Structure 1
């Protein structure tokens, strides 16, 4: 319990600092000072700040997996899944503009894959779509959503993401179900 608590205190201090300044302006010394721990305690849990960043995204991704609700639309699920990013826009922007951008990309890609995989599985429950086609649909939407989020972050996060995701949902409403139905009808043609 104490180890989990210490890890959480370190992560929380790190997120707070990321919301205030770029990643390259944060040091282990800053974190241990805020957390009132010694350097050895920090290094007991993390070899460096990059390992801390990786664990931060892994922890947030685990929360997404645990909070998934099959009764939500993919749009609602995606917004729930990106809650951390929306609550910590400056931190996300600072990571985006750092050498550790790939950790952010990996996190967003995993979140999009998780949401879309579960959604496509739920939608295909009564549709005999091919597994390979379901995977293609997931990958298509996963890639599109990830790139849209990265573009949104890179352009300064000015637009309201709820409006954008809702609009995408309206524009593409029914396309996933239609694609699954097409897959079922194409089974014999491949």
Structure 2
């Protein structure tokens, strides 16, 4: 592991620790560097600000892991993995999503939209939908998943990740059945 990556991980761990004590919007760079024992200059060498650090954590410690080899056939397991990662670091995600939900949501939205675009194309083998309809449908389902996960987090993750993932999988399966019925001209 490179020195730069080790430093970034130390800074990330410091932010997570400070998030247990302070709301994200009240955290300063001085708070973060005091915990990891680095100076401000080192922080700014690696990150422009705490928002870039937050984005780096979301992507490198969660989204990059779950988007690797994700398909429509295994997406529910990948969502479960993501929810479990979030639950393990509950205070960090609850705290940061309260203040910065759009950073997290934009990553999640892009991933979900790509998956649903793939699924809709697969289900619409007779090409009943035009490109605009496919895009609209994919965005609809992506926003739904994002909304559920953000709401789950902001409400304190009271429901187990396995239950949330199963509900999302069940909804997708129902949608898949409706899509198949529609593609056959039954409805």
The answer to whether the superposition gives a TM-score over 0.5 is: yes
Q: Which runs of 5+ in 1 are unaligned?
A: none
Q: Which runs of 5+ in 2 are unaligned?
A: none
Aligned to 2:67: 65
Decide whether the 8 Å contact of 1:127 with 1:181 is kept in 2.
Answer: no
Kindly report which structure 2 residues correspond to 1:12-161, keeping only aligned pairs within 5 A, or say none: 12-59=13-60, 60-68=62-70, 71-72=73-74, 74-98=75-99, 100-117=100-117, 120=119, 124=122, 127-129=125-127, 130=129, 132=131, 133-161=133-161
Q: What is the RMSD of the two structures over their aligned residues, measured on CA atoms?
A: 3.0
Q: Secondary structure at the match of 2:68?
A: helix
Alignment length (residue pairs): 182
Decide whether the 8 Å contact of 1:32 with 1:42 is kept in 2.
Answer: yes
Aligned to 1:175: 175
Determine the C-alpha separation between the residues in 2 that align with 1:110 and 1:7: 25
1:55 to partner: Cα distance: 2.0
**TM-score of the aligned structures, taking structure 2 as reference length:** 0.77
Decide whether the 8 Å contact of 1:19 with 1:90 is kept in 2.
Answer: yes
**TM-score of the aligned structures, taking structure 1 as reference length:** 0.76
